[in-house]
Structure 1
Amino acid sequence: MLPTSTTSGGGMPDFTVTGIDLAVIIGYLLLSRIIPLVAQSRMKKKAKASGKETDETEDYFLGGRNFIWPFVGLSLVATNMSGATFVGLAGGAYEQGISIFAYEWMSAVILVIFIFFILPFYLRSEAFTLPEFLEKRFDRRTRMSFAGFNLFANMFIDMAAALFAGAMVVKVLYPDVPLIVSVAVLAILAAVYTVIGGLGAVMISDSIQATVTLLGGVLVLIATFNAIESWDAMVQTAGEEKMSLILPADHGDLPWPGLVTGVLIIGLYYWTTNQLVVQRTLGAKSLDHGRWGSLLAGAIKLTFLFLFILPGVMALSLYPELDNPDTVFPTLVFDLMPVGLRGLILAAVIAAITSTVDSILNSASTIVTMDFVKTLRPKTSQRGLVTIGRISTVVALVVAIVWAPFIAQFDTLYQYLQSVLSYLVPPVVAVFLLGIGWRRTTATAAFLTLVVMQPLGLAMFLLVEVNGLVPLQFLYAAGISFALSLAMLVGISLLGPAVDEEKADELTWKNEYWAEETAELKGTPVWANYRVLSVVLLAATAGVVAAFA
């Protein structure tokens, strides 16, 4: 039996890290860095022996495009999970309630859309990066503008948030350690195998982190449930609003129309157009493995309600007066978990957070190398490209370290992530979706939409969210920006010259694709048919949402 809380009256646990906990943390962090490098080295030798060795750049930046679906799925989860899940979801649930689960269950829906209508075109293009895909669909101007935004998002949004999440855990354990020091140490831990091993080492590491992190979530859930008086008492303490997935239209945090105007759009950006995430599916062995891995990730996302969100709500009964919601998870771990086991969970949290950072570093270095260096200096050798990738990894790391402390001014980590994305990503989603779905979309329309609407979004973020000059809920802002971006795309496309039909034909949706695939799927076992599996995932999602609506 796991120990029950001794501080349920509102006091704070003792955050002393014992020698056993520290030994477990150090041991785990070392092994989680050594194992991926050793495993990747063996995979390379095996590939070489079988005559399937890939070129150096493909091996470093896309893991040789040889990953099977469990690695794809677990890496997708780890990349998403570690940036803000433990710290951000628990803190967001403590502050806002289970409605924050909207970002998780919507992910399952979006991943189904991704594997049906978007991933096939990415893999068909054989692009290294999503900016490269835009060049194949549109032109080089669009590629460069989106590559620039991807680098900006990687360093100032994704990586900075992940490092800040880890620093918050460290701050609970060692309050006197400056935030910038914690951020720097975590960044260096993440950089070790990213710089050396590339995406192959990252995906192996991600799979390990995801497995251990999910196990840690199960243990904390059990311990937290044992600590509260009862489920009914917890529900009464939390209140009806915090136990509801659907909130009123005028709610400040997550109004229900915002599920469509904001959550869906942010999710489409993250899961379908963000190099950081999509790079895992670009490294899949085949389209089927990319699809199966994505469905696995969607199924795991549904468990986040129980593993990470409900413990944050339960913490309201145990610690009703926490000053900082982002300290909820470490508080639960130190108050409820036994020595040694809490060391393992804390190690998993720190390693999982660095897992997101390593993924972002690999994504950033891939964009710098393949979208800028190789495009502008096409004669650069493969070894030279890999070296430049490693250098750009370190540079991106330094920028994120300097920026991460800025996030402290937001109420919760999740508020920072969702609010900044709401203003910056709708034009990206519009360009990708309309580019794949409508052959008439022109290169000039795509380019102008990105270079006009994104700077405008940044200006609005500063005016609304930072300076508070305009009373606008950020999820509604996302919907407005998306609608304006679509209008701009359609208007400029219709007013401009016709597109290059031959160039657009290969990378835009046609009804024939669906008919051809339907014929190919005949005779496919149910357990391997991605369409059947997608229906099962959507039904499970609907069931969970209905149960807590």
Structure 2
Amino acid sequence: MTEGIARLAPLDLGVIAVYALGIIALGLWATKRKSTAQDFFLASRESRWPVIGLSLLASNISSTTLIGLAGAAYSVGISVYNYEWMAGVVLVIFCAFVLPAILRSQVYTMPEFLERRYDGFARSYFTGLTLFLNIVVDTAGTLYGGSMMFKLLFPDAPLTLIVAALALAAGTYTVAGGLRAVLYTETVQAIILLGSSMAIAFFAFAKAGGWDVVMNNIDPAKLSLIRPLDDPGVPWLGIVTGVSILGFYFWCTNQFMVQRVLSAKSLDHGRWGSLFAGLLKLPVLYFMVLPGSVAILLYPTLDRPDLVYPTLLFDLLPVGIVGLVVAGFLAAIMSASASTFNSAATLFTMDVVRRWKPDTDSRDLVFWGRISTLTFMALAILWAPQIGRFGSLFQYLQAILSYAVPPIAALFAGGLLWRRANARGARWTIIIGFLSGAALFVLNAVLGLISIHFLYVAAILLLISIATLIVASLTAPAPDSSKTEGIVWTPAIWHAESATLRALPFWQNYRTQSAGLLLLTAAIVWTFR
């Protein structure tokens, strides 16, 4: 590893510097069209599908993902990829049931949508929870993961200084240009990210002797996606009970991701972009997960799984390519950080400031958006160094979500599919779901009095939340039609949509695209079952 760092040549440093300065300049250039709150927070709702798809990928593939996927493949096997292919399945559901209702409501934020469907209490809770998760989980995890590798490059630099530099790099253009700047930069960053990941995969397999050598010399259990019930990583039942729930929260309700789709110029572009993102997630197995498996052969005695990605990078790649891949890693940090800064600013401005002062004009909303972005940057910088206390990055992220988000998944699913769900049901779902999650966290994760895999915890909490929503809703009158019209899915909506889709060429029909995505996903899962 030391030799790899020592040969970080001037050419590599030049590539990294050109990338960093170029992406900041691109983001600042995008600010020239900024004028209104809708432009700052939703890019004027003009985004087209390629930009949406690439932006979703760039937002999702953070430094945490790059380090976590390779490290998990090294330590427990490729079953970690179940989180990745599940994205395609969840996005198909998102396009069919969730996205149409959200776009019809013309909301800025997902908590605002919950208020439309239930009441202000649901909105306030989800706003607070999302802001907490954006800072403590998403942004801080990304910055900490990035700092781990840059600490190898600059071992004498304090960790907090590295974290601050990474946050400022992404925050500069986010403060200035909002979502439009984020979308412009993420489109470029996604391409660089994919290219740099392909480079690592190519050199790793070449060093190990090729595909056949790798496949024949690694424990088959570590090359299987479908694992036994007692598997410590991703047991097969956990795919259904946990991965799907976390995926639904992440792709269908999290402001961090959905904000890109809210900026779509039409429902079709929102759907095409979402499915394009699902398609881009499939090669992650080959470019980001399996290189971690190759490292089992190349570096069998690494101290920690989180060292797999930086070891592959600095030990295998030639001069120039190292700079490109580090730039790709920096792209992952900047895109994910910019996304969370922007989404957190949108939540605070629209769900707190505008509710507190509804007469705030567009210029003042943009001002509050910038101030809140700077504030969240500071909070993330302060918290990120503390994540080192929690062990594996990937476990840290998934475990926290498993205890926190099932009640929200229940509210969205119930609100979209069951007309009878009402505000009383939502309130009790939040209260009982929160208390149940806190109790399980203490008993399971803190005190160790019980031992339940976090993917099963998610399912237990979802069942509790759904039961609470049903029972509590039935104790109060049905909601007014204004709370359900155009939001709750019905067969009539499906039939009306079918008539509209018949006028489109089959390749533009999102249902055809969805079927193709599901078939490709099934083929990969079957191959590595």
Residue 171 of structure 1 deviates from its aligned partner by 1.9
Q: 174, 177, 180: which is aligned to 1:194?
A: 174
Residue 539 of structure 1 deviates from its aligned partner by 0.2
The answer to whether the 8 A contact 1:57-1:386 is kept is yes
Deviates more, 1:123-132 or 1:464-473: 464-473
Aligned residues: 528
Deviates more, 1:295-304 or 1:497-506: 497-506
1:140 has 2:130 as partner: no
Question: In the aligned structure 2, how far is the partner of 1:209 from the partner of 1:434?
Answer: 36
Residue 459 of structure 1 deviates from its aligned partner by 4.6
Distance 1:363 1:490, change over 3 A: same
Distance 1:74 1:230, change over 3 A: closer
Residue 232 of structure 1 deviates from its aligned partner by 4.2
Residue 158 of structure 1 deviates from its aligned partner by 0.8
The answer to whether the 8 A contact 1:419-1:465 is kept is no
SS of the equivalent of 1:247 reads coil
CA RMSD, Structure 1 to Structure 2 (Å): 1.5
Question: In the aligned structure 2, how far is the partner of 1:335 from the partner of 1:67?
Answer: 40
Match of 2:411 in 1: 431
Distance 1:407 1:468, change over 3 A: farther
So what's the TM-score if we normalise by structure 2? 0.97
Distance 1:256 1:73, change over 3 A: same
Question: In the aligned structure 2, how far is the partner of 1:172 from the partner of 1:463?
Answer: 37
Q: 72, 85, 100: which is aligned to 1:105?
A: 85
Q: 441, 456, 471: which is aligned to 1:461?
A: 441
Match of 1:238 in 2: 218
Give % identity. Answer: 46
Question: In the aligned structure 2, how far is the partner of 1:274 from the partner of 1:422?
Answer: 14
1:358 has 2:348 as partner: no
Match of 1:27 in 2: 18
CA displacement 1:422-474 (0-9 Å, x = unmatched):
11111110000000100100112112212332254245334423443421111
Residue 394 of structure 1 deviates from its aligned partner by 1.1
Distance 1:243 1:524, change over 3 A: same
1:95 has 2:85 as partner: no
1:162 has 2:142 as partner: yes
So what's the TM-score if we normalise by structure 1? 0.93
Deviates more, 1:282-291 or 1:391-400: 391-400
**TM superposition outliers: structure 1 runs of 4+ over 4 Å:** none
1:339 has 2:339 as partner: no
Q: 127, 131, 134: which is aligned to 1:151?
A: 131
Match of 1:272 in 2: 252
Distance 1:463 1:405, change over 3 A: farther
Q: 378, 381, 385: which is aligned to 2:361?
A: 381
Residue correspondence of structure 1 range 422-501 to structure 2 within 5 A = 422-501=402-481
Match of 1:522 in 2: 502
Deviates more, 1:250-259 or 1:364-373: 250-259
Deviates more, 1:439-448 or 1:14-23: 14-23
Q: Which runs of 5+ in 1 are unaligned?
A: 1-10, 46-54
CA displacement 1:490-529 (0-9 Å, x = unmatched):
0100112221123212211111110001111113111111
Residue 406 of structure 1 deviates from its aligned partner by 2.5
Q: Which runs of 5+ in 2 are unaligned?
A: none
Residue 316 of structure 1 deviates from its aligned partner by 0.8
1:303 has 2:298 as partner: no
CA displacement 1:146-183 (0-9 Å, x = unmatched):
11111111111111111111111112222333322221
Q: 190, 194, 207: which is aligned to 2:187?
A: 207
SS of the equivalent of 1:505 reads coil
Question: In the aligned structure 1, how far is the partner of 2:353 from the partner of 2:287?
Answer: 42
Question: In the aligned structure 1, how far is the partner of 2:399 from the partner of 2:170?
Answer: 26
Deviates more, 1:109-118 or 1:491-500: 491-500
1:18 has 2:2 as partner: no
Match of 2:374 in 1: 394
SS of the equivalent of 1:406 reads helix
Residue correspondence of structure 1 range 69-80 to structure 2 within 5 A = 69-80=49-60
The answer to whether the 8 A contact 1:13-1:331 is kept is no
1:127 has 2:117 as partner: no
Residue 13 of structure 1 deviates from its aligned partner by 4.4
Q: Could you tell me which amino acid in structure 1 is paired with residue 255 of structure 2?
A: Q
Question: In the aligned structure 1, how far is the partner of 2:434 from the partner of 2:12?
Answer: 46
Question: In the aligned structure 2, how far is the partner of 1:487 from the partner of 1:446?
Answer: 11
Q: 251, 254, 262: which is aligned to 2:242?
A: 262
SS of the equivalent of 2:113 reads helix
Residue correspondence of structure 1 range 284-323 to structure 2 within 5 A = 284-323=264-303
Residue 350 of structure 1 deviates from its aligned partner by 1.3
Q: Could you tell me which amino acid in structure 1 is paired with residue 203 of structure 2?
A: A
Question: In the aligned structure 1, how far is the partner of 2:238 from the partner of 2:66?
Answer: 24
Residue 83 of structure 1 deviates from its aligned partner by 4.4
Question: In the aligned structure 2, how far is the partner of 1:204 from the partner of 1:540?
Answer: 29
Deviates more, 1:448-457 or 1:304-313: 448-457
Question: In the aligned structure 1, how far is the partner of 2:77 from the partner of 2:289?
Answer: 8
Question: In the aligned structure 2, how far is the partner of 1:357 from the partner of 1:408?
Answer: 18
Q: Could you tell me which amino acid in structure 2 is paired with residue 270 of structure 1?
A: F
Question: In the aligned structure 2, how far is the partner of 1:266 from the partner of 1:377?
Answer: 34
Question: In the aligned structure 1, how far is the partner of 2:24 from the partner of 2:218?
Answer: 40
Distance 1:214 1:114, change over 3 A: same
SS of the equivalent of 2:5 reads coil
Distance 1:190 1:467, change over 3 A: farther
Question: In the aligned structure 1, how far is the partner of 2:299 from the partner of 2:387?
Answer: 24
Q: 503, 506, 513: which is aligned to 2:493?
A: 513
The answer to whether the 8 A contact 2:275-2:513 is kept is yes
